A and B are shown apart, each in its own frame.
Chain A
């Protein structure tokens, strides 16, 4: 069944998503990671990602690196676009522009960071449904996105099962040590209570192995989303708990991606949303 979103529910979703994006960009400002704050980076790593190639070939990367006012204008425009889209959710041109600016920003940042992170670039896919004027296309794209989000977690679980890492004794111990080794190498570094508790988990191999199996089971539970919507609410809870645990254990928060769980919000939970279905569907 494809839920049919009405105008009001679409507006609510637009505001939610783009206000979140504005906070994501605000965090990037705070972390000195906007293009104008990068002090004209030198190295860039594109690997074989042709999208990265195309964006750099346009010369936008070179322009923002060599020209501070251009970089600053780009950053301010991107921030303003997120807010403007939230304030004027019916103007289709705004999410379209935000999507383009956001994708370019993520590609440039990942290139200069020399690692193709998924933590914010994935949000450019969340913008796609909002670029369509027709409610039918929006509903189709938003529903398609729900499967994509489920795929993200299911795929991560399947790869761990396929490669055997989930049942690899010592895997979790390695992950924790890998995360904590830099901090522990500093003579006067004082771990807080939570860090101490989590690091101590690596001293109990059986418990650490069980923690990994539980984590992968949480990821694997998203496979359910391919067959039913009945557990969507639980998947949001599982997803948030999963990320809280990975934040503490392996310092991977993916906090920016939490907004993706909006695709699992049951229809009835979105205030005043019509629960019609597109005629002629299952």
Chain B
């Protein structure tokens, strides 16, 4: 690596500055555990975990039945699952996210009301997005599963492994429900 930087220095001072900046920014982001694209944190699955056999999961019910998510491709499944997880977090936090907090702290008193409102609209969600989100979820599920969604329910559940290694749902807590009839 030092040979590479030395070679870069000899060939192009601009390239050397670019590589050095990239390396330092990546190290800083890694140590601060912050991601600012393209300075990523590469630490996948490195958090220590204890196998309790108990997992908190979201659930989606369409027309009263659980949606069969495991049978679709992972990226498509996650376009449904992860926004729901985030939606539940937003509901629990009353839509007060770190992004909104930073915006308020650094921008609210430094720009006009209309500009701040535009910025806020482009960067964060608020409580008025609640039903709009559920309507989006309905449209996307209808597209993927090719079915008509008349009733939609999302919530938290707890899944546990039994001794015989099968899985049981021990808790189901609805967070939002919408009827489209």
Contact partners of A57 in chain B: CB under 8 A = 119, 122-123
B49 adjacent to chain A (CB < 8 Å): yes
Contact partners of B55 in chain A: CB under 8 A = 177-178, 181
A6 adjacent to chain B (CB < 8 Å): no
Q: A53 and B123: CB pair below 8 A?
A: yes
B159 adjacent to chain A (CB < 8 Å): yes
Q: Which of B11, B48, B132, B161 contacts A181 (CB 8 A)?
A: B161
A114 to B88, CA, bound (A): 12
Contact partners of B66 in chain A: CB under 8 A = 186
Which size class do A's interface residues fall under? 35 or more
Q: B122 and A147: CB pair below 8 A?
A: no
Min C-beta distance of B142 to chain A, whole Å: 9
Residues of chain B at interface, number, CB under 8 A: 76
Interface-located stretch among B34-42, B148-156, B173-181: B34-42
Q: B26 and A151: CB pair below 8 A?
A: yes
Q: B136 and A40: CB pair below 8 A?
A: yes
Contact partners of B119 in chain A: CB under 8 A = 57
Q: A165 and B45: CB pair below 8 A?
A: yes
Q: Which of B7, B46, B123, B166 contacts A159 (CB 8 A)?
A: B46
A51 to B19, CA, bound (A): 19
Among residues of B, the one whose C-beta sits closest to the C-beta of A154 is B42
Q: Which of A53, A177, A250 contacts B161 (CB 8 A)?
A: A177
Among B1-51, those with CB < 8 Å from A are 1, 3-4, 6-8, 10-12, 15, 19, 22, 26, 30, 34-38, 40, 42-51
A193 adjacent to chain B (CB < 8 Å): no
Contact partners of A121 in chain B: CB under 8 A = 37-38
Q: B26 and A112: CB pair below 8 A?
A: no
Among A135-156, those with CB < 8 Å from B are 136-137, 140-141, 143-144, 147, 151-153, 155-156
B113 adjacent to chain A (CB < 8 Å): no
A15 to B168, CA, bound (A): 50
Contact partners of B96 in chain A: CB under 8 A = none
A271 adjacent to chain B (CB < 8 Å): no
- 6 pairs across A/B with beta carbons < 8 Å? A32-B143, A33-B75, A50-B36, A144-B19, A155-B30, A177-B161
Residues of chain A at the chain B interface (Cβ within 8 Å): 1-2, 28, 31-33, 37-53, 56-57, 59, 61-62, 103, 107, 112-116, 118, 121-122, 124-125, 136-137, 140-141, 143-144, 147, 151-153, 155-156, 159-160, 162-165, 168, 170-171, 173-175, 177-178, 181-186, 189, 199, 203, 226, 250-253, 278, 280-282
